[in-house]
Structure 1
Amino acid sequence: MRFPQTGSNIIVQSYKHNGILHRVWEETIILKGTSHEVIGGNDRIMVQESDGRQWRTREPAICYFTADHWFNVIGMLRNDGIYYYCNLGTPFTYDEEALKYIDYDLDIKVFPDKTYKLLDEDEFTLHKQQMNYPEEVEIILRRSVDELISWITQKKGPFEPGFVEYWYERFLQYR
């Protein structure tokens, strides 16, 4: 698999199961790019929704994408600590256009004290029916929720103390 080069500026695109473009983040600077993981940084970037709405992120963020797991993690640096927004979705792919993944609705929000909340189960149930998610996908996603919660409680990967801060310092060197 191809992967973005360190220091390059890429677009991130999420899709829904039916192939429709869901959301586009205008720019993310690649801090580490391998065939297995991509770590990027951005700050106050424009986000385009599929319905045409646009909004700007409010704070610096470190994004963690993996080719081996069905989730990605965004660590947002706020005044009162680091918040994480975790998207359940396919492992990433990358082409010259963008880093891409399919978003499967379920999200986990993690607070600075490492408590967390599973979000959007109703949206998942609705889209599962509307888009006919295969049973195998649902099984993978439920396992991935458990795996992600395990990472959070074990402080593994992007939840490891100092991870977001380290990559944020690297991000500042490219700005």
Structure 2
Amino acid sequence: MVGPETGSKTQIKSYKHNGQLHRVWENCLVLKRTENVVIGANDKTNVIESDGRVWVTREPAICYFHAKYWFNIIGMLRNDGIHYYCNISSPFVYDEEGIKYIDYDLDVKVFPDMTYNLLDEDEYKEHREQMGYPEVLDQILQKQMSYLLRWVHQRKGPFSPEFVDQWYERFLTYR
């Protein structure tokens, strides 16, 4: 897969299943790109909601996107440790507009001690019905949620103790 060049800045664009733009993060710095993975970082970047509202992220974040898994992971560096926000989503794609994925509402919030909360299950059920998610998609998303939670329990990938810190150090070299 072709992706953004390491050291370049790109946008992250989240869509809904019906193709409607959901949210845009500006100025994600690409720290690493392989055939299947993009690791990016941002700090105090503008986020534009579908209704036009704009807000600014509060802390540095390391973003992990995979072209084969149906989730993405954001590690946020806060005073009390690394907090993760995980979106159950389509695998990312990349084009001249940026990194893109479909957000399927189900989210996992992971705390520094690796405990977690499942979020937005009601929103998922509502959108599944409204947008007519096929049964096969629901099965894929449930399976991917299991993979993601296994990664949390095993402290795999972005959940490994040093992952976010190492990529944040790399991010600082670009500033």
TM-score range normalised by the length of the shorter chain: over 0.9
Once the two structures are superposed, residues 115-141 of structure 1 have per-residue CA deviations (whole angstroms, 9 ceiling, x without a partner) of 001100000000001000111110000
**Are residue 34 (structure 1) and residue 31 (structure 2) matched?**
no
- Please show how residues 160-171 of structure 1 align to structure 2 within 5 Å: 160-171=160-171
Indicate conservation of the 8 Å contact 1:23/1:48, yes or no. Answer: yes
5+ long unaligned stretches in structure 1: none
Partner of 1:143: 143
1:131 maps to what in 2? 131
Q: 1:68 Cα deviation (Å)?
A: 1.1
Q: Which aligned runs of 4 or more in structure 1 are off by greater than 2 angstroms?
A: none
1:90 partnered with 2:90 = yes
Structure 2 residue ranges without an equivalent (≥5):
none
How big is the shift at 1:35? 2.0
TM-score (norm 2): 0.99
Aligned partners of 1:4 and 1:34 also within 8 Å: no
**Matching residue of 1:75:** 75
CA contact (8 A) 1:105 1:124 kept: yes
Cα distance in 2, alignment partners of residues 17 and 144 from structure 1:
17
Q: Show CA shifts across 1:135-173 (max 9, x none).
A: 111000001111100000000000011000000000001
Structure 1 residue aligned with 2:6: 6
Structure 2 CA distance for aligned equivalents of residues 142 and 117 of structure 1: 16
Provide the rounded CA distance (Å) in 1 between the counterparts of 2:124 and 2:22. 14
SS state of the match for residue 161, structure 2?
Answer: coil
Q: CA deviation at 1:34?
A: 1.5
Corresponding letter in the other structure for 2:101: Y
- Aligned mates of 1:44, 1:141 — CA distance in 2: 30
Task: Say what the alpha-carbon RMSD is for the aligned residues.
Answer: 0.5
SS at match of 1:68: coil
TM-score by length of 1: 0.99
Secondary structure of the residue aligned to 2:41 is strand
Q: Secondary structure at the match of 2:123?
A: helix
- Which residue of the partner structure matches residue 173 of structure 2? 173
Q: Percent identity?
A: 63
**Contact 1:71/1:88 (<8 A) preserved:** yes
The alpha-carbon deviation at position 2 of structure 1 amounts to 1.1
SS at match of 1:59: coil
TM superposition shift of 1:18? 0.1
